[in-house]
Amino acid sequence: MTAAAQLASTLGWLALVAYALSAVLYTTSLFRTAAWIGRSATAFAVLGAVCNFGTLYARSLALHTVPYRDLLGSMKLFGFFLAVLNIALEFRHRDRSLGPFLMPAALVFLLLAVVQTTPVHKDAPELKGPIFALHVTLNMLAYAAFAVACALSLLYVVVGRSLKKHAFTGPASRLPSLSYLERANRTSLSLGILSLTVGVLLGLFWASRMWRGEHPLWALDPKIWFALATLAFYVFVLVRAHRGAAPVSTARLSIAGFVLVLLSYTAVNLLVSKLHDFTS
Protein backbone atom coordinates (compact mmCIF):
# COMPACT_ATOMS: atom_id res chain seq x y z
CA MET A 1 0.00 0.00 0.00
CA THR A 2 1.40 3.41 -0.93
CA ALA A 3 1.74 6.24 1.60
CA ALA A 4 -1.20 8.07 -0.01
CA ALA A 5 -3.40 4.98 0.18
CA GLN A 6 -2.35 4.48 3.81
CA LEU A 7 -3.24 8.12 4.58
CA ALA A 8 -6.58 7.74 2.81
CA SER A 9 -7.38 4.70 4.94
CA THR A 10 -6.37 6.39 8.23
CA LEU A 11 -8.36 9.53 7.45
CA GLY A 12 -11.34 7.39 6.42
CA TRP A 13 -11.38 5.68 9.82
CA LEU A 14 -10.96 9.01 11.61
CA ALA A 15 -13.90 10.45 9.66
CA LEU A 16 -15.90 7.37 10.53
CA VAL A 17 -15.30 7.78 14.27
CA ALA A 18 -16.11 11.50 14.10
CA TYR A 19 -19.35 10.85 12.15
CA ALA A 20 -20.35 8.14 14.65
CA LEU A 21 -19.82 10.45 17.64
CA SER A 22 -21.59 13.27 15.82
CA ALA A 23 -24.59 11.06 14.97
CA VAL A 24 -24.91 9.88 18.59
CA LEU A 25 -24.62 13.42 19.95
CA TYR A 26 -27.10 14.88 17.42
CA THR A 27 -29.62 12.20 18.31
CA THR A 28 -29.06 12.80 22.04
CA SER A 29 -29.61 16.53 21.51
CA LEU A 30 -33.20 15.75 20.46
CA PHE A 31 -33.91 14.49 23.96
CA ARG A 32 -31.49 16.49 26.12
CA THR A 33 -31.24 20.26 25.95
CA ALA A 34 -27.73 20.75 27.38
CA ALA A 35 -25.90 23.14 25.05
CA TRP A 36 -22.60 21.22 25.08
CA ILE A 37 -24.22 18.17 23.45
CA GLY A 38 -25.33 20.10 20.36
CA ARG A 39 -22.05 22.00 20.13
CA SER A 40 -20.03 18.79 20.38
CA ALA A 41 -22.21 17.18 17.69
CA THR A 42 -21.44 20.07 15.34
CA ALA A 43 -17.72 19.98 16.17
CA PHE A 44 -17.49 16.24 15.39
CA ALA A 45 -19.49 16.72 12.16
CA VAL A 46 -17.01 19.39 11.03
CA LEU A 47 -14.03 17.21 12.04
CA GLY A 48 -15.57 14.25 10.22
CA ALA A 49 -16.17 16.29 7.06
CA VAL A 50 -12.56 17.54 7.09
CA CYS A 51 -11.23 13.98 7.48
CA ASN A 52 -13.69 12.77 4.81
CA PHE A 53 -12.37 15.39 2.39
CA GLY A 54 -8.85 14.37 3.37
CA THR A 55 -9.50 10.72 2.61
CA LEU A 56 -10.97 11.63 -0.79
CA TYR A 57 -7.95 13.81 -1.60
CA ALA A 58 -5.46 11.17 -0.46
CA ARG A 59 -7.32 8.58 -2.52
CA SER A 60 -7.13 10.78 -5.62
CA LEU A 61 -3.35 11.01 -5.09
CA ALA A 62 -3.17 7.25 -4.82
CA LEU A 63 -5.26 6.61 -7.92
CA HIS A 64 -3.99 9.55 -10.03
CA THR A 65 -7.62 10.31 -10.94
CA VAL A 66 -10.87 11.40 -9.27
CA PRO A 67 -11.29 9.44 -6.06
CA TYR A 68 -14.89 8.48 -6.68
CA ARG A 69 -14.97 6.75 -10.01
CA ASP A 70 -15.96 3.51 -8.29
CA LEU A 71 -18.87 2.68 -5.99
CA LEU A 72 -16.84 2.94 -2.77
CA GLY A 73 -15.32 6.27 -3.71
CA SER A 74 -18.72 7.65 -4.71
CA MET A 75 -20.12 6.50 -1.35
CA LYS A 76 -17.37 8.43 0.43
CA LEU A 77 -18.28 11.48 -1.64
CA PHE A 78 -21.97 10.99 -0.84
CA GLY A 79 -21.22 10.82 2.89
CA PHE A 80 -19.07 13.95 2.56
CA PHE A 81 -21.85 15.90 0.83
CA LEU A 82 -24.40 14.81 3.44
CA ALA A 83 -22.15 16.06 6.24
CA VAL A 84 -21.38 19.32 4.43
CA LEU A 85 -25.06 20.04 3.64
CA ASN A 86 -25.95 19.29 7.27
CA ILE A 87 -23.30 21.71 8.53
CA ALA A 88 -24.28 24.38 5.96
CA LEU A 89 -27.99 24.19 6.88
CA GLU A 90 -27.14 24.22 10.59
CA PHE A 91 -25.04 27.36 10.33
CA ARG A 92 -27.51 29.01 7.94
CA HIS A 93 -30.59 28.40 10.10
CA ARG A 94 -29.01 27.89 13.56
CA ASP A 95 -30.87 24.62 13.86
CA ARG A 96 -29.55 21.12 14.56
CA SER A 97 -32.66 19.07 13.84
CA LEU A 98 -31.37 17.65 10.54
CA GLY A 99 -28.27 16.19 12.21
CA PRO A 100 -30.00 13.12 13.72
CA PHE A 101 -31.13 12.17 10.20
CA LEU A 102 -28.22 13.17 7.97
CA MET A 103 -25.22 12.24 10.09
CA PRO A 104 -26.25 8.59 10.61
CA ALA A 105 -26.79 8.38 6.82
CA ALA A 106 -23.34 9.91 6.22
CA LEU A 107 -21.94 7.40 8.72
CA VAL A 108 -23.53 4.41 6.97
CA PHE A 109 -22.24 5.39 3.52
CA LEU A 110 -18.75 6.09 4.80
CA LEU A 111 -18.75 2.87 6.84
CA LEU A 112 -19.62 0.79 3.77
CA ALA A 113 -16.88 2.57 1.81
CA VAL A 114 -14.21 2.27 4.51
CA VAL A 115 -14.71 -1.36 5.50
CA GLN A 116 -14.62 -2.56 1.87
CA THR A 117 -11.15 -3.15 0.49
CA THR A 118 -12.05 -3.91 -3.13
CA PRO A 119 -9.12 -2.76 -5.26
CA VAL A 120 -9.72 -0.13 -7.91
CA HIS A 121 -8.76 -0.75 -11.52
CA LYS A 122 -6.00 1.77 -11.85
CA ASP A 123 -5.67 1.60 -15.60
CA ALA A 124 -8.85 3.29 -16.66
CA PRO A 125 -7.71 6.31 -18.66
CA GLU A 126 -11.21 7.05 -19.93
CA LEU A 127 -12.39 7.68 -16.35
CA LYS A 128 -10.36 10.83 -16.07
CA GLY A 129 -10.69 14.49 -16.94
CA PRO A 130 -12.69 17.40 -15.59
CA ILE A 131 -15.94 16.58 -17.42
CA PHE A 132 -16.09 13.08 -15.96
CA ALA A 133 -15.16 14.45 -12.52
CA LEU A 134 -17.87 17.13 -12.70
CA HIS A 135 -20.40 14.58 -14.00
CA VAL A 136 -19.90 12.33 -10.95
CA THR A 137 -19.52 15.20 -8.46
CA LEU A 138 -22.72 16.94 -9.54
CA ASN A 139 -24.71 13.72 -9.61
CA MET A 140 -23.55 12.84 -6.09
CA LEU A 141 -24.35 16.39 -4.95
CA ALA A 142 -27.83 15.95 -6.43
CA TYR A 143 -28.29 12.66 -4.56
CA ALA A 144 -27.16 14.31 -1.31
CA ALA A 145 -29.57 17.23 -1.89
CA PHE A 146 -32.41 14.74 -2.47
CA ALA A 147 -31.37 12.96 0.75
CA VAL A 148 -31.61 16.29 2.61
CA ALA A 149 -35.02 16.92 1.02
CA CYS A 150 -36.07 13.46 2.21
CA ALA A 151 -34.89 14.21 5.78
CA LEU A 152 -36.67 17.58 5.77
CA SER A 153 -39.82 15.89 4.47
CA LEU A 154 -39.68 13.23 7.17
CA LEU A 155 -39.38 16.01 9.75
CA TYR A 156 -42.32 17.81 8.12
CA VAL A 157 -44.47 14.69 8.46
CA VAL A 158 -43.35 14.14 12.09
CA VAL A 159 -43.96 17.77 13.13
CA GLY A 160 -47.28 17.87 11.24
CA ARG A 161 -48.48 14.70 12.98
CA SER A 162 -47.46 15.96 16.41
CA LEU A 163 -49.35 19.21 15.76
CA LYS A 164 -52.42 17.32 14.55
CA LYS A 165 -52.32 15.16 17.68
CA HIS A 166 -51.88 18.28 19.84
CA ALA A 167 -48.66 16.80 21.27
CA PHE A 168 -47.07 19.69 23.11
CA THR A 169 -44.03 18.02 24.63
CA GLY A 170 -41.30 15.61 23.56
CA PRO A 171 -38.60 15.85 20.90
CA ALA A 172 -41.08 16.79 18.12
CA SER A 173 -41.91 20.00 19.98
CA ARG A 174 -38.25 21.06 19.60
CA LEU A 175 -38.14 20.55 15.82
CA PRO A 176 -38.26 23.52 13.41
CA SER A 177 -41.45 25.14 12.16
CA LEU A 178 -43.44 23.61 9.32
CA SER A 179 -42.96 26.61 7.06
CA TYR A 180 -39.16 26.42 7.42
CA LEU A 181 -39.16 22.69 6.65
CA GLU A 182 -41.37 23.25 3.61
CA ARG A 183 -39.22 26.11 2.30
CA ALA A 184 -35.95 24.28 2.93
CA ASN A 185 -37.39 21.20 1.19
CA ARG A 186 -38.12 23.24 -1.95
CA THR A 187 -34.59 24.72 -1.82
CA SER A 188 -33.04 21.24 -1.54
CA LEU A 189 -35.19 19.93 -4.38
CA SER A 190 -34.14 22.88 -6.57
CA LEU A 191 -30.46 22.27 -5.79
CA GLY A 192 -30.84 18.56 -6.52
CA ILE A 193 -32.67 19.13 -9.81
CA LEU A 194 -30.12 21.69 -10.98
CA SER A 195 -27.15 19.47 -10.07
CA LEU A 196 -28.70 16.36 -11.59
CA THR A 197 -29.62 18.18 -14.83
CA VAL A 198 -26.13 19.57 -15.34
CA GLY A 199 -24.55 16.29 -14.16
CA VAL A 200 -26.59 14.19 -16.62
CA LEU A 201 -25.93 16.60 -19.50
CA LEU A 202 -22.18 16.51 -18.76
CA GLY A 203 -22.34 12.73 -18.65
CA LEU A 204 -24.10 12.57 -22.01
CA PHE A 205 -21.57 14.99 -23.50
CA TRP A 206 -18.63 13.03 -22.05
CA ALA A 207 -20.02 9.71 -23.32
CA SER A 208 -20.76 10.99 -26.82
CA ARG A 209 -17.22 12.39 -27.06
CA MET A 210 -15.63 9.27 -25.57
CA TRP A 211 -17.21 6.70 -27.86
CA ARG A 212 -17.86 8.70 -31.05
CA GLY A 213 -20.12 6.02 -32.49
CA GLU A 214 -17.94 3.10 -31.41
CA HIS A 215 -20.45 2.23 -28.73
CA PRO A 216 -23.79 3.15 -30.31
CA LEU A 217 -25.88 1.63 -27.54
CA TRP A 218 -24.48 3.77 -24.70
CA ALA A 219 -27.52 6.05 -24.78
CA LEU A 220 -29.74 3.04 -24.11
CA ASP A 221 -28.10 2.28 -20.80
CA PRO A 222 -30.95 1.81 -18.26
CA LYS A 223 -29.10 4.02 -15.76
CA ILE A 224 -29.49 7.02 -18.05
CA TRP A 225 -33.20 6.44 -18.49
CA PHE A 226 -33.65 5.85 -14.76
CA ALA A 227 -31.77 9.08 -14.00
CA LEU A 228 -33.96 10.99 -16.48
CA ALA A 229 -37.10 9.47 -14.95
CA THR A 230 -35.87 10.49 -11.46
CA LEU A 231 -35.19 14.00 -12.74
CA ALA A 232 -38.64 14.21 -14.36
CA PHE A 233 -40.25 13.03 -11.12
CA TYR A 234 -38.50 15.67 -9.03
CA VAL A 235 -39.31 18.41 -11.56
CA PHE A 236 -42.95 17.36 -11.34
CA VAL A 237 -42.83 17.50 -7.50
CA LEU A 238 -41.21 20.94 -7.47
CA VAL A 239 -43.53 22.46 -10.10
CA ARG A 240 -46.49 21.03 -8.24
CA ALA A 241 -45.22 22.55 -4.97
CA HIS A 242 -44.72 25.95 -6.58
CA ARG A 243 -48.23 25.80 -8.01
CA GLY A 244 -49.69 25.47 -4.51
CA ALA A 245 -49.89 21.75 -3.75
CA ALA A 246 -50.39 20.89 -0.08
CA PRO A 247 -46.90 20.87 1.54
CA VAL A 248 -47.56 17.52 3.21
CA SER A 249 -48.10 15.90 -0.21
CA THR A 250 -44.84 17.49 -1.45
CA ALA A 251 -43.13 15.99 1.62
CA ARG A 252 -44.52 12.52 0.89
CA LEU A 253 -43.45 12.74 -2.76
CA SER A 254 -39.96 13.89 -1.72
CA ILE A 255 -39.64 10.79 0.46
CA ALA A 256 -40.85 8.60 -2.43
CA GLY A 257 -38.40 10.35 -4.77
CA PHE A 258 -35.49 9.43 -2.56
CA VAL A 259 -36.49 5.79 -2.83
CA LEU A 260 -36.01 6.23 -6.61
CA VAL A 261 -32.58 7.76 -5.94
CA LEU A 262 -31.54 4.87 -3.75
CA LEU A 263 -32.75 2.39 -6.37
CA SER A 264 -30.87 4.28 -9.07
CA TYR A 265 -27.71 4.34 -6.96
CA THR A 266 -27.77 0.71 -5.88
CA ALA A 267 -29.96 -1.77 -7.80
CA VAL A 268 -29.81 -0.01 -11.18
CA ASN A 269 -26.06 0.61 -10.97
CA LEU A 270 -25.09 -2.82 -9.75
CA LEU A 271 -27.64 -5.09 -11.43
CA VAL A 272 -29.00 -3.48 -14.58
CA SER A 273 -26.54 -0.92 -15.90
CA LYS A 274 -23.58 -1.96 -18.01
CA LEU A 275 -21.90 1.44 -18.16
CA HIS A 276 -22.51 2.58 -14.55
CA ASP A 277 -21.60 -0.59 -12.68
CA PHE A 278 -18.38 0.99 -11.34
CA THR A 279 -16.22 -1.68 -12.98
CA SER A 280 -16.22 -0.49 -16.57
Partner 1 sequence: MNLLFVGWDHRAAPLDLRERLAFTPEKARAALDGLFQEHILSEGAIVSTCNRAEIYGMSDREDGLDALAGFFSRFHRVDDALLRRTALSGHGDATVRHLFRVAAGLDSMVLGEAQILGQIREAHRLATAAGTVRTVTNRLFMSALECGKRVRAETALGQKPTSVAGLALLLAGRIFESLRDRKVLLIGAGETAELTARLLADDGVSEILVANRSHENGEALAAAVRGRAVRWEDRARAAAAVDLVLSATNATEPVLTAGALRTALHGAPRRGPLLVLDLAVPRDVEPEVGELSDVYRYDLDSLEEMAAVNSRARAGEVPHAEAIVEESVRKFQEWWGGLLQGDVVRGLREKLESIRRAELEKHSSRLAALDPSARAAVERLTETLVAHILHDPTVGLKEGDGSERLERAAAVRALFHLDETQK
Residues that bind partner 1 (CB under 8 A): 159-160, 163-164, 166, 168-169, 173, 176-180, 182-183, 241-249
State the nearest-atom distance from the C-beta of 133 to partner 1, in Å: 37
Residue 73 to residue 127: CA distance in whole angstroms: 13
Cβ-based nearer residue to partner 1, 166 or 212: 166
Q: Is 159 helix (H, G, I), strand (E, B) or coil?
A: helix
For partner 1, the closer CB: 160 or 222: 160
Q: Could you tell me the smallest distance in angstroms from the CB atom of residue 163 to partner 1?
A: 5
- Rounded Cα distance between 32 and 7, Å, is 36
Q: Closest distance between partner 1 and the C-beta of residue 177, in Å?
A: 5
Nearer to partner 1, 181 or 196 (CB): 181
Closer residue to partner 1 in complex, CB, 183/274: 183
Q: Please work out, in degrees rounded to the nearest 5, the angle formed at the alpha carbon of residue 147 by the alpha carbons of 118 and 45.
A: 75
User: d(Cα 91, Cα 184) in Å, to the nearest integer?
Assistant: 14
Query: Looking at beta carbons only, is 176 or 222 nearer to partner 1?
Result: 176
CA distance 191 to 139: 11
Closest by Cα among 183, 189, 182, 273 to 230: 189
Q: Which residues make Cβ contacts (< 8 Å) with residue 151, sequence separation at least 6? A: 98, 101, 102, 105
Pairwise CA distance, residues 58 & 96, whole Å: 30
CB of 174 to partner 1, least distance (A): 10
**C-beta closer to partner 1: residue 182 or 221:** 182
Tell me how far, at minimum, the Cβ of 96 lies from partner 1, in Å.
16
Please count the residues of the chain: 280
Of 203, 88, 207, the residue nearest 139 (C-alpha)? 203
Q: What is the nearest approach in angstroms of partner 1 to the Cβ of residue 181? A: 10
